[in-house]
Amino acid sequence: MVNLQQDFPEHVDILCTNATLATMETDGEPYGLMSDGAVAIRGDTIAWVGRMADLPRDFKERSARIIDAGGHLITPGLIDCHTHLVYAGSRAREFEMRLHGATYEQIARQGGGILSTVSATRGADEQALFEQSAPRLLSLIKEGVTTVEIKSGYGLDLDTEVKMLTTAKKLGSEYGVTVVPTYLGAHALPPEYANRHDDYIEYICDKVLPYVARHGLAVFVDAFCEKIAFSPQQVERVFKAARRHGLRIKLHAEQLSDQGGAQLAARYGALSADHLEYISEEGAKALAQGGTVAVLLPGAAYFLREEKTPPVELLRKYRVPMAVSTDCNPGSSPSVSLLLMMNMACILFGLTPEESLRGVTINAASALGLQERIGTLEAGKDADLVLWDVSDPAELSYNIGLNPCRLVLRRGKVSEASGLQ
């Protein structure tokens, strides 16, 4: 960490003083905690992080704006590394069906589930899709989210997938949040390919994926490896195409059963494997070897009343980094609260509050390949940070339904969308 007095710049745009910093750096204290800390921002970058005692004497003259944190907590901007937040329609009817006894799988097999959102999303024009998705993004921002991954996968045909990815990008620029777009063509089999899984995979690999890559519409490719979706062999074809076209890889793996998806993802250098309730010990070892992040999605486990939880002990044993995310989607996790997910990760999955915060900062950054830019409070990184009305970082996981977010800075600018100035 750069905290030498001589490194404090001649001029900074914003200086946050008197803060308890959860830097989330790994060496040293839990949470990388530093009391009586200060963060200096120049342009869109963190210029200096250190102790109040190490500020130069004339720090006030050198700072255009000073924000006194009053001893409260500053964390890196939160990162929601797995969402499907761009979609049209609602699945509240299916929610009712499930409460009358139908299962998620039964509904999916009867042509409901993901496919009902596909038909709503195909039917919505770009403006409607934007307007329906924006409130979800705003809810995340209000809780301190500065980076969000958004998947396609409710269009399945070229035009609608492109519409989803374009909408995701537009949401990012409209609301001043970093959006990482992912192409999730292999999410479900579209009705026009009924019983023709392999033909649909060919369509993805030969048509949509190359188009998405050529037009810079996505950074990642994701797939749903599951009995009700695509087999490991089919997913592997998608991964090969992703490699050919320079897109990075993620995978929905072992959500409802163990398909060996984690091993497959790791073999292809996936940045993350997500869900993982049914992952085996072999799978956990493979993630460790592949440097693949395990993204845990407690909202989906909760909403589907999944009794099996991801084997957190095994993931710890093999030192697999764990991230936590909302999985915001209409079918299995209609959640727009990353703070609630942190609480659920602790209560339902047994993470510690520190693991939980790591899961929405540095480990989520790694799941997106952005660990050099975001995820910790460190000089040289993007000035994405959140000032909270609490002083103890465990409060972020502890509370249920309280939002202590006071101020969000994204790339050095106060986020107006946070609603808090």
Question: Which residues make up the interface to Fe ion (CB under 5 A)?
Answer: 327
In angstroms, give the least distance from the CB of 8 to Fe ion: 43
Query: Would you say 114 or 134 has its CB closer to ligand NIG?
Result: 114
In angstroms, give the least distance from the CB of 296 to ligand NIG: 12
Query: Would you say 47 or 81 has its CB closer to Fe ion?
Result: 81
Containing 195, the helix (H) or strand (E) segment is none
Q: Which does 330 bind (CB under 5 to 8 A by kind): Fe ion, ligand NIG, none?
A: ligand NIG
Nearest-angstrom CA–CA distance, 395 and 390:
7
Q: What are phi and psi of 272, to 5 degrees?
A: -150, 155
Q: Which does 224 bind (CB under 5 to 8 A by kind): ligand NIG, Fe ion, none?
A: ligand NIG
Nearest residue to Fe ion, using CB? 327
Helix 114-123 × helix 158-175 angle, to 10°: 80
Q: Which does 113 bind (CB under 5 to 8 A by kind): ligand NIG, Fe ion, none?
A: ligand NIG
Q: How many CA atoms lie within 13 A of 416 on its CB side?
A: 4
In angstroms, give the least distance from the CB of 117 to ligand NIG: 5
In angstroms, give the least distance from the CB of 166 to ligand NIG: 20
**In this structure, what token pair is assigned to residue 210?**
């190359």
Query: Would you say 24 or 223 has its CB closer to Fe ion?
Result: 223
Q: What are phi and psi of 49, to 5 degrees?
A: -130, 130
Query: Would you say 34 or 150 has its CB closer to ligand NIG?
Result: 150
In angstroms, give the least distance from the CB of 80 to Fe ion: 12
In angstroms, give the least distance from the CB of 224 to ligand NIG: 5
Query: Would you say 226 or 382 has its CB closer to Fe ion?
Result: 226
Query: Would you say 50 or 185 has its CB closer to Fe ion?
Result: 185
Q: Which does 121 bind (CB under 5 to 8 A by kind): Fe ion, ligand NIG, none?
A: none
**In this structure, what token pair is assigned to residue 298?**
């407690």
Query: Would you say 209 or 300 has its CB closer to ligand NIG?
Result: 300
**In this structure, what token pair is assigned to residue 301?**
């486990």
User: Does residue 270 contact residue 292 with C-beta atoms inside 8 Å?
Assistant: yes
Work out the burial of residue 52: count CB atoms within 10 Å of its CB; fewer than 13 is exposed, 13-18 middle, 19 or more buried: middle
Pairing of strands 33-42, 12-22: antiparallel
User: Does residue 232 contact residue 197 with C-beta atoms inside 8 Å?
Assistant: no
Nearest-angstrom CA–CA distance, 261 and 251:
7
Query: Could you please report the per-residue DSSP string of 215-255?
Result: TT--SEEEEBBSTTSB-HHHHHHHHHHHHHTT-EEEEEESS
Nearest residue to ligand NIG, using CB? 331
- The residues that touch ligand NIG, with contacts defined as CB under 6 A, are 84, 113-114, 117, 224, 252, 255, 300, 327, 329-332
User: Does residue 277 contact residue 301 with C-beta atoms inside 8 Å?
Assistant: yes
In angstroms, give the least distance from the CB of 94 to ligand NIG: 9
Strand, helix or coil at 118?
helix
Query: Would you say 163 or 381 has its CB closer to ligand NIG?
Result: 163
Strand, helix or coil at 109?
helix
Q: Which does 117 bind (CB under 5 to 8 A by kind): Fe ion, ligand NIG, none?
A: ligand NIG
Q: Which does 98 bind (CB under 5 to 8 A by kind): ligand NIG, Fe ion, none?
A: none
In angstroms, give the least distance from the CB of 113 to ligand NIG: 5
